[in-house]
Structure 1
Amino acid sequence: MSNHNSLPPRSPLSSTPPSNGGSQAKLGLVPTNNVTTSDGVTVRARIDPTLTVADVVRQLCVNLKIKGSPSDFALRDEFHELVTNDNLRKKIKAKLDLKLVNAPNKEGREIAERLQARDQKTMRLTLYTLQRYIRENEFASEFINYDGVAQLVDIIFTSQGNTLAYALTAMQNLMELDYGWASLDEAFIFRVVQVLSSPQSLINVCRPATAILKKLVEADPSDAPGLQVGSSKGAPAVIPGSVYHYGFTIVFEQMRKEKSLLETIVNRLGSADTAMAQYSMMLINSLLSHANDVRWEEFIAEMERFNMRKAVVRLMSQHMVEDLTSSILDFQANMLKVTYRKKSTPVNVEDQPSHVADLNYIWNHSKLIQEVDENGQQLKWRKLGFDTEDIELEFNDVGILGLECLKRFVERDPDFSKMVLEQLSRPAERRCPIAKASNEVVELLSEHWAIFAPGYSTTTTFQPFFLDFYKVHALATNFFLRMWSESGAASGDFVRVVALVRSQVKVALHSENVRAWHEVEHDFLKCEYRAVRDRQMKELEKEDDLLSKIPVRNLRAKIFKESYEFVRQQRTQCLLQGAWFVIALPGNAPQPRDSRRPSKPWRFVRLDNSLKYLHYIDSAVKFPVRGGLEDLPDRIEIAAISKIATGTCVPPPNVLRDHNDLPPTSPLAPSPLSFSLLSIHEEQGSLADLIAADQSRWADWTDGLNLLRKDGGHVASDETAGFVQVLTEIGLKIKLLDLSGEMVEIPSGLTAGSPPPNTDFFFSELI
C-alpha cells in the first residue's frame, strides 16, 4: 500500500483518503473499497484480489501506522461478516465497505474477559456482539478457552429482560457448533425450562430458550455425526467431550419438573408472533420425533391432555399459516408415527395399570354384570361384542390405539349403556358386536390415512380430520351401528357392513384440507343405507374384493414402506449428484430498477456425502462440474435450514427467457418451481432462493431436503407422493399375480390355533 499522494502502478494495495475532488472520480473507475479503522479513519483502497486476507491486513497496518501485531486484526464487511480468503474476491467486486477490527481470536478473549468483569453499563453491548460472532470457529474457540461459556451460563442464571434475551441468543448461536457446550448440565436445562414456562417471559426471551431446548433434544448420541444408521443394535456410545450426550430423556426429565411447561408451549402456538409460534411448533416436532420408550407414553398423554392436536388444527385456518406450513406437515408426519406406534403397542393387563384403568372405565360405563355362560366360562367382554374373553388377543391388531378409541367412544356417548343393553335384548345372531365394530373402524381409518409404518407419510396437504382421529372414529362407529340396524344384518354379515363403512369413509373424508367438519358429520349421520349400498355396489364393479382382505392390506403396508424408502433414497441421490438452478429474487424483494441480466444468474448445488452441507458455486454460465466438492467453494449447513418454502421467489430479469430448458414465467410473479431455504435465525431470512429447471428437479430437491431434516421431514410435492403410490400399486399387483396365477385362495383372516400344552415337541425338517 502506498500513501494517498503516490499510487505506484504495481502496488497490490493502494489507498487514498476520501475526497470530493477529481482524484476520487478517477479512483471510481476501478474497484475500490472503503476501509474504516477502529479509530474512525476511513480510506479508499484498491485491493488486489489475489492477495490473502493476512497480506491485506498486514499492508493496511503498515500504511496506516497501526500499532500492534497484524495478526491481532481482521477485516469485516458492513454486515459484520468476517472477510476470509474464500470470500475476499466477492466482497472486493461488490465494493462493500470494510472495517479493520480485532481478529476473531483476540475479540473472543476480550469478550470473555468483559463478561467476567460484569460491567452492567456495557453488558448488553458485549452480549450483542457475542451473539453476532459466536458462530465463527476462531472466535468461539478462544471464547471457550477463556472460560467464556461458564460466564455466559452464569449470566443466563442471574439476568432478566433484554440482557437475558441477548445471553440466550448467544447460547443458541454457540449451539450451532458441534463443540463448546458439552458442559451444559441439568441445572442449566432446568433454568431454560423455567424461563420458557413463565407466562411473563418476553417473546425475545422465549424464542432462543425454545431453540436451545430443541437443540438439546436433537443432541442425542444416535444423531452424532458419522454414526451410520443401523450400524449398532444397542444404544450408541457417548464420545467423551461430545455435545451429543443429551437427547429427549435428559430434557424431558427437567421438563417434568415444571408441570405448566407443555401447556405453555401449546398455548404459544396461538401467539400473534408468527416466529414464536413456529419456534414452539419446531420444539414440539423435535420432542415427538425423538421421544424414546422410557417416557414416550407419558409424554404423548401430556400432549393429548393439553389438546395439542386441536391447537394445530386451529393454526391451519389462521392467516399466518403460510409461514407454518412446513412445521404443520412435520407435525402431521410425527402424529402418524405416534398413531402407528399406538396401533402396534399391545394391550398389557399384567404390567400396564393405565391399560387396566381404561378397560375398567369401559366396563363400568356399560353397567353390565359379569356372568358365567352355559359352559361355566366367564361371560364379560363377549357381552360388549368381542369374540373371546382374551382381551389382549382382541386388541392384538389395533393395540392401545384401539383401546383408546373405544374408551373415547364410551366417553362421548352418555347413553353407551343403553346402546349395549339394546343389542343384548336382540337375538344373539342379530346383535351388532360393538367392541369388534370399534376395532374394525380403527383398521379402516388406518387404511384410509395410510398408517402403515413409522416415519412414512406422503401427504402434501393439511389433514385436520386425521388430527381428530378419535372424533372421526366415534362418528364412523356410530355409522357402523346404524348400517347394521338399517340393513337388518346378522352375525354372518359383519364383512358386508364393514364394506359399507369403508365406502362411506372414503366419501366422508375426501379432500379434507378443504372440507368443513359439519360436512363430515352430515355424511356419517344423515346418509341413508340405500344410498350407501347403491354406491358401494357400483364401486365393487370397478374394484377387486381381494384388495380389502386383511392379508392383502398387510402386504400393501409392507410394499408401501419399501416404495417410500426407495423414493427417499432416490431423492437423496439426486442431491448428491447436484443440479443447476437459477438464483431467484425473494418474492418480497424490491424489483430492480433496470432489466439488466445479473452477472452470475446460475448456481450449481450439491450435497456432500456426510449429508450435512450443501456446497455450491455461482456462475455466469452453466459448465460441466466435476465430481466431488473441489469446484464448489461455498456451502450451506443443512442444520441451519428451518424449512423449505416453495413458490416464493421471482426470476431475475432476462434469464429464464434466454433458455429453452426453463419454463416461462412473469418476472413479477413467483415461479411455481421456486423454493427458498429459510434460516433458523429469523434475522438472516433466506439462505438461498432458487428456481428449478423443471417439475421433477423441483420435487427431487424440495422433498429431498425436507426428508434430511431431523425434526420430522415430510413430502411436499404431489409428484413424490404419486411415485410412492404408483410403486406400491405396481408392487402389490405383481405380488398378487404370483398368488392368483397359482389359484391360491387368500383368506380374509388367519386364526392362530391353541398353543401346545407343553414344550415336549420339535419341528420336523422338510425333505
Structure 2
Amino acid sequence: MDNTNISELVERLGSDDEALRKMAVFKLQGSIADPSFADIFIVEGGLQKLCYLTLHASGNTLAYSLTSFARLLEVDKGWEFVDEELVERIVELIVTHPLVNILRGAMSILVSIVSHPCADGRGSQHGLFGFRALKPAIAIYPQFLEMLVTRLSSADHALCANALQLINSLMRDSITHDSDLEWPRFVHKLQDLGVIRAVYTLMQGSALQDHAHPLIEFQFLTKILLRKWRDVALDIEKPEHRRALKGIHVASNTVKGEGDVSDDTKGSRRHSPEKWRRLGFSTESPVSDFHEMGFLGMMDLSDYVRSHQDEFQKMLLEQSAKLEEERCPIARASLAVTSILYEHFEVDKSDIEDSKSYLVLESRSNLDKLFKPLLLHWTRLHVAGLHAFFRLWKATGAQVEDFGKIVELVRILIESVVGGAPRTKDVQDVEEELADFEYNRLRELQMELLELTYEDVWGQHLQQVRDELNHESLQFVKEQRIRCLLQGAWFPNEQSHKSEGGPSSKNPPTSYKYVQLSHNRRYLHFGDFDSIGPGLPELDVLPEKIDLSIVSSVVSNVSASPDDSSMSTVKTAPHHSTSTKIVIHGYTPSAASEPSNYAKNPSHARSASKATQKESVLLTLRPQTHSIASEWLDGLLMLLNQQPITSETNKLINLISNYGLKIRLLNIRFDDAAFTGEAPKVPSREGLDDDYYYDILGGS
C-alpha cells in the first residue's frame, strides 16, 4: 500500500461515517503488522485516531480497532499512547463485554502491556508495563481475574488461548518482579479461582493443538513456581514459616504422657524430648530436614496434615505403640515423596530444553509426550504417594533402617503409574492405581529396572555372569534329570496301549517295563513285569540292558521349546499321537562281530556297525505324565551330552539362572529375605565331615 492509500486510510479513520470508519479499520488490521507500514501510519497521524476508536467505538469497529492496536504493539510501536485510561478501558471490556471478537483483541493488548520489558525508555517513565500497570484498573473491576479464568472454558478456542496467554503473562511478571510476599498471594488467588482445574481440562482436551503454546508456557510456569518454593529455605525467623511449622505440631494433637510435656503449657518442666522426632523428623531441629526440598516440602507436608488431620493423628497413635525402630517417620516420608515427584517431573529442566522438545514433537504431531497434566495435581499426587509409602511400610514390616528401600519402591511405583499414565488419564484413576498396586508386582518391576541399570553400566561383565550362571544351572538340572534315571521308573508296555492296525486302547495296561540307569551311568537296564511290585527291582534282576555308547538318537512327541528346531540330533514327532512316547534308537553290532571285541572296544564296534547296518529301535518308553516325560527325555539327551528340549526343563534352567543373577545383583543377606512365618533354621554342621551334601530337590 503506497503513501496515498495510507493517507486516505487515516482520513477515513476520522470520518463521521460509521461505515467508512469500519471499512478503514478493517483494512488496517491486515496491514498494521508490517513495521514499515506502521511507521508511515504513525507519521500520517493515524495512531491518535486509532486510539480514539479503541476508547470510544463499539461493535465490529471496536473489535477491528483492538486487533489493529494489539498488532501495532506486537511490532513494538504505539507505546506512547498506552496510559491508565487505555488500560482501564481494556480491563472494563474484558469484564463486561460478551462479544468474542472484542475480547480477543482486548486480551492481546493486555498481554503485550504485561509482557513489555520494564527497562524500555519511555515505558520506564510511565511505569505502565507489567502486572502493576493493571492493578489500578483491577481495583476498579475486582472481578477481572475471575472473568479471565472463566474464559478458559470458552467454546471459542482462540479466546481460550488468549485468556490463558494473559494469565501466563500476569503470573510470569508477578513471579519476576513482585516481592516474596506478593507473588505467592497472587498465585494462590488464581488457584482459588479454579485456574488449575480449567487448565487441566484443556490439557486433557481434544483441541490440544489450538492451545499448545499457552499450555506449554503454563506448564513451564508451574515448574518455575515449584522451583521457587523449593529454593526458599525454611527459616523459623519468618512468621509464615514459623506458623506453618507450628501448625503441623498443633495438628498432631500431642497427647500428654510417656514423658511428653507440651511446650505451650506454662510452668511445665520442659517439652517432650521427642516433640519433633515423634512426628517423623530426624532430629529435634526439624529445619535441617527441609534442606533439600525447602518450603515446597513444608507446603506439601502442611497440606497433607491439614486435609487429612484425623488420619495423621491416628497414624501417630499407631506408631507410638510400636518400638522406636519400627515407627514410620511420617515427616521424612512426606519430604521423600516431594523429592520423588520433583525428580519425576524434571522440575529443574529449563524452559529452553522443553521448548526444543516442543519444536521436535510438534513436527511429529506427538504433543501427548510433552504435556504432563498430572503435574498440575501435585498436591493430590503427593498425598497418594504418601499413602503408598505408608502401605508399603506396613506390608513389608519395614524398620527405620529400611527407609531408603521403601523410598526406592515408591519411586518405582510413581515412575510406573504416573509416568506410564497417558495424557487423558484422570487423576482419580491414577490415585486408585497407586493405592491398589500389588507389592509383588512392584518387586518384579524393581528387579527388571535393576537388571537394566546393571546392563547399562556393566553390560559386558553382566553378560559374562549370565553365561556362567546359565552354565551352572544347566549342569545342576542335568544332574537332577540324570538322578531321575538313576532312581528308575515304571512304564506301561507299548503292546498294552495299541492293538494291531487299530487306534490306541483305553484299557488299563496288562504289563509294565521297569527301566533304571546303572550307577556308572553307562548302561540302561530294563525288564518286563506283569504288575508293579511293592518295591523297586534291583539292577541284577533286570534281564536286559543297553550300552549308551551305541545310542544314536532319541525320538519323542513330547512338546519342545520354540527354539529347538536347530538341533539336528533331536527328532520331534507330530502331536497327533494319542500317548506320549520316547523311542531310543541306536546301532547294534552285526552278527559277524565278536562279542569279546565289542566288549573290549564298543566305539570301534559301533563305527563298524554304522557302515553296515541302519539305525534300529533299541527301546520304547511310554511316560504316563508330562513331568516324567520331561525328566526322562531330557535326562537321556543330557546324558548323551545333548541340549534339553522340553519347556519344563528349560523353564527350570532359566528360573535357577535368573534367581542366581538377582541374588548376585542385590547381594542379599540372610536377614534381608522375606519369610512367611518363622525363618528357616540354618542346618548344623555338627558331626559332619567333608563327605556330605544337601538334597535340595527333595529326591525328585
TM surpasses 0.5: yes
- The change in CA–CA distance for 1:386 and 1:106 in structure 2 (over 3 A counts) is same
- Measure how far apart 1:519 and its partner are: 4.4
Amino acid aligned to 1:371: S
- The change in CA–CA distance for 1:293 and 1:359 in structure 2 (over 3 A counts) is farther
Instruction: Give the structure 2 partner of residue 281 of structure 1.
Output: 164
Instruction: Give the structure 2 partner of residue 430 of structure 1.
Output: 326
SS class of match (1:371): coil
The answer to whether the Cα contact below 8 Å between 2:83 and 2:128 also exists between their aligned partners in 1 is no
1:203 partnered with 2:100: yes
Sequence identity (%): 29
1:345 partnered with 2:232: yes
The answer to whether the Cα contact below 8 Å between 1:220 and 1:244 also exists between their aligned partners in 2 is no
Structure 1 residue corresponding to 2:252, chosen from 361, 366, 379: 366
1:452 partnered with 2:348: yes
CA deviation profile, 1:451-478 (whole Å, cap 9, x unmatched): 2244343574321222211111110001
1:479 partnered with 2:377: no
Matches within 5 A, 1:35-46: none
- Measure how far apart 1:387 and its partner are: 1.8
Amino acid aligned to 1:174: L
Deviates more, 1:273-282 or 1:254-263: 254-263
How many residues align? The count is 428
- Measure how far apart 1:110 and its partner are: 1.9
Instruction: Give the structure 1 partner of residue 114 of structure 2.
Output: 217
2-structure distance, mates of 1:263, 1:359: 32
1:396 partnered with 2:308: no
Instruction: Give the structure 1 partner of residue 176 of structure 2.
Output: 292
Instruction: Give the structure 2 partner of residue 70 of structure 1.
Output: none
CA deviation profile, 1:549-582 (whole Å, cap 9, x unmatched): xxxxxxxxxxxxxxxxxxxxxxxxxxxxxxxxxx
- Measure how far apart 1:444 and its partner are: 0.7
Give 1 or 2: higher helix fraction.
2
Structure 2 residue corresponding to 1:156, chosen from 54, 62, 67: 54
SS class of match (2:282): coil
Structure 1 residue corresponding to 2:414, chosen from 505, 513, 519: 505
Amino acid aligned to 2:383: A
- Measure how far apart 1:356 and its partner are: 4.1
1:314 partnered with 2:196: no
1-structure distance, mates of 2:127, 2:254: 52
1-structure distance, mates of 2:144, 2:273: 46
- The change in CA–CA distance for 1:507 and 1:319 in structure 2 (over 3 A counts) is closer
Amino acid aligned to 1:350: E
- The change in CA–CA distance for 1:392 and 1:293 in structure 2 (over 3 A counts) is farther
Which of the pair has more CA radius of gyration?
2
1-structure distance, mates of 2:9, 2:292: 59
CA deviation profile, 1:231-259 (whole Å, cap 9, x unmatched): xxxxxx44247899654343453465243
Instruction: Give the structure 2 partner of residue 99 of structure 1.
Output: none
- The change in CA–CA distance for 1:485 and 1:157 in structure 2 (over 3 A counts) is same
CA deviation profile, 1:647-687 (whole Å, cap 9, x unmatched): xxxxxxxxxxxxxxxxxxxxxxxxxxxxxxxxxxxxxxxxx
- The change in CA–CA distance for 1:512 and 1:261 in structure 2 (over 3 A counts) is farther
Amino acid aligned to 2:277: R
Matches within 5 A, 1:207-286: 207-221=104-118, 237-240=119-122, 247-251=129-133, 253-254=135-136, 256-257=138-139, 258-286=141-169
Instruction: Give the structure 2 partner of residue 124 of structure 1.
Output: 22
Amino acid aligned to 1:469: W
- The change in CA–CA distance for 1:206 and 1:348 in structure 2 (over 3 A counts) is farther
1:442 partnered with 2:442: no
- The change in CA–CA distance for 1:408 and 1:256 in structure 2 (over 3 A counts) is farther
- The change in CA–CA distance for 1:136 and 1:487 in structure 2 (over 3 A counts) is closer
CA deviation profile, 1:175-212 (whole Å, cap 9, x unmatched): 122222233123322321222123x4311111011111
Deviates more, 1:367-376 or 1:149-158: 367-376
CA deviation profile, 1:43-102 (whole Å, cap 9, x unmatched): xxxxxxxxxxxxxxxxxxxxxxxxxxxxxxxxxxxxxxx37xxxxxxxxxxxxxxxxxx6
The answer to whether the Cα contact below 8 Å between 2:377 and 2:427 also exists between their aligned partners in 1 is no
CA deviation profile, 1:108-161 (whole Å, cap 9, x unmatched): 6524xx53x655564433433443443345653454346543443344333443
- Measure how far apart 1:442 and its partner are: 0.7
1-structure distance, mates of 2:262, 2:325: 19
- Measure how far apart 1:405 and its partner are: 1.4
For structure 1, the residue ranges without an aligned partner over 5 or more in a row are 1-81, 84-101, 222-236, 548-767
Instruction: Give the structure 2 partner of residue 106 of structure 1.
Output: 7
- The change in CA–CA distance for 1:163 and 1:351 in structure 2 (over 3 A counts) is farther
- Measure how far apart 1:545 and its partner are: 13
2-structure distance, mates of 1:346, 1:404: 12
The RMSD of aligned alpha carbons is 3.3
Q: What's the TM-score once normalised by structure 2's chain length?
A: 0.55
1-structure distance, mates of 2:297, 2:287: 11
Amino acid aligned to 2:63: A
1-structure distance, mates of 2:150, 2:254: 41
SS class of match (1:284): helix
The answer to whether the Cα contact below 8 Å between 2:91 and 2:138 also exists between their aligned partners in 1 is no
The answer to whether the Cα contact below 8 Å between 2:80 and 2:122 also exists between their aligned partners in 1 is no
The answer to whether the Cα contact below 8 Å between 1:172 and 1:208 also exists between their aligned partners in 2 is yes
Matches within 5 A, 1:542-691: 542-543=452-453
- Measure how far apart 1:414 and its partner are: 4.9
For structure 2, the residue ranges without an aligned partner over 5 or more in a row are 256-260, 359-368, 458-700
- The change in CA–CA distance for 1:118 and 1:430 in structure 2 (over 3 A counts) is farther
- Greater relative contact order (CA < 8 Å, ≥ 6 in sequence): 1
- The change in CA–CA distance for 1:249 and 1:531 in structure 2 (over 3 A counts) is same
